[in-house]
Amino acid sequence: MDSRPIGIFDSGIGGLTVLKELVKILPNEDFIYYADTKHIPYGNKSQKQIIEYSKNIVEFLISKNVKVIVIACGTASSLAYPYLKEHYNIPIFNIIKPIAQSIKDKNIGIIATKSSVASHVWENEISKYNSNINIHLVACPVLVPLAEKGLQNTFISKQYIKHYLKEFKDKNITSLILGCTHYPIFYEQITEELGNNINIINVGTPLAIDFKKFLYDSSLLANNTGNITYIASGNYNAFMHKLNKRNRLLVYSVCQII
Identify which of 136, 178, 175 has the alpha carbon closest to the alpha carbon of residue 161.
178
Cα separations in angstroms, 90 against 8, 37, 64, 67, 81: 13, 24, 13, 7, 12
Residues 172, 176, 180: CA angle, nearest 5 degrees: 150
Packed helices 16-25 and 204-217: angle between N→C axes, nearest 10 degrees: 50
Residues 171, 175, 176: CA angle, nearest 5 degrees: 85
Catalytic residues: 73, 180
Asked if 184 and 178 count as a contact pair (C-beta separation under 8 A), the reply is: yes
Contacts of 215 (CB under 8 A, 6+ apart): 26, 29, 68, 221
